[in-house]
A and B are shown apart, each in its own frame.
Chain A
């Protein structure tokens, strides 16, 4: 019995399972909210919450020390995409001040089976990714902005996610210490 499907590639199934589940969630949200902006917000929030947990797994798994500059941070984000989604975005388009960069994806597993109807151009289907990056970095005291510049779902050749350093969050000083 189990010989039949043992040919199935577990990695591929995992990835499709995630993709399809995420698709079902987005579809449900589109049913729940009238406008795409609200769906974007919900997806972003879910990503943010996931990022807060995933960062701990990432840190424990890689024993990575704290990043001292954004170039290190970019490398870690790239590594995280490799670990969790088995894809490797290219890091590019650094700003002159080295505080802003792009993650460029040739393919995006989340959108593998997706086609966006024309009335949903405002939907940021993969908003969970930007939320996740924000949530994870906030846990390591980095506040960033993160947004989509290009999206294959909207006809672009690649999907490009921009990350901009905002500020380093200070450690909270306990009461009575200064």
Chain B
């Protein structure tokens, strides 16, 4: 199991933070374009999923999977969007994202008095805590080549 990369968007679609670990192939477009595409795709898939749902969709879109990777999605009621790409065997990713929200985002971004809500996160403290959190998670594991 492993983790490739993470996008954190706010409710306006601003990419507040991006980090990557075992991503070997780049998309060939700028980070900005990639974020815009990702956000747009998520927006569409979300509205599609709830529109087509035969029941009350409750949580709605959670993840999609290809034969090489899985994209996991957690949206908080405040509209923060955590998007984590992992390999296809990763489990309990939703719980991991919940933890990331509570233990890393709230602790080191929301509680950082020098951070203004709605702005890109540049705190090195947050970056190192995030890195530590991801590397220590059971999903990060050891990478198969």
Contacts and interface: CB of A to CB of B under 8 A. Distances in A.
B40 A140 contact: no
Contact of B106 (A56, A141, A174): A56
A177 B40 contact: yes
B78 A59 contact: yes
Contact of A139 (B39, B78, B106, B111): B78
Contact of A63 (B98, B105, B106, B110): B98
A64 interface: yes
B141 interface: no
Interface in B39-65: 39-40, 43-44, 59
Given A53-B111, A60-B102, A63-B98, A174 B39 contact: yes
B23 interface: no
A59 B11 CA distance: 15
Contacts of A67: 77
B79 interface: yes
B78 A174 contact: no
A110 to B, nearest CB: 21
Interface string A146-178: 000000000000000000000000011110110
A56 B11 contact: no
Interface residues of B, number: 22
Interface string A27-69: 0000000000000000000000000110111011101111100
Interface string B9-53: 001110000000000000000000000100110011000000000
Contacts of A63: 98
Contacts of B77: 59, 64-67, 140
A90 B3 CA distance: 46
A57 B107 CA distance: 8
Interface string B90-108: 0000000010011001100
Contacts of B40: 174, 176-177
Contacts of B105: 56, 60
A129 to B, nearest CB: 20
Contacts of B39: 174
A60 B106 CA distance: 8
A140 B78 contact: yes
Contacts of B106: 56-57, 60
B117 interface: yes
6 closest A-B pairs by CB: A60-B102, A66-B77, A139-B78, A56-B110, A60-B106, A140-B77
5 contacts: A56-B78, A59-B101, A60-B98, A63-B98, A64-B77
Interface of A: 52-53, 55-57, 59-61, 63-67, 139-141, 171-174, 176-177
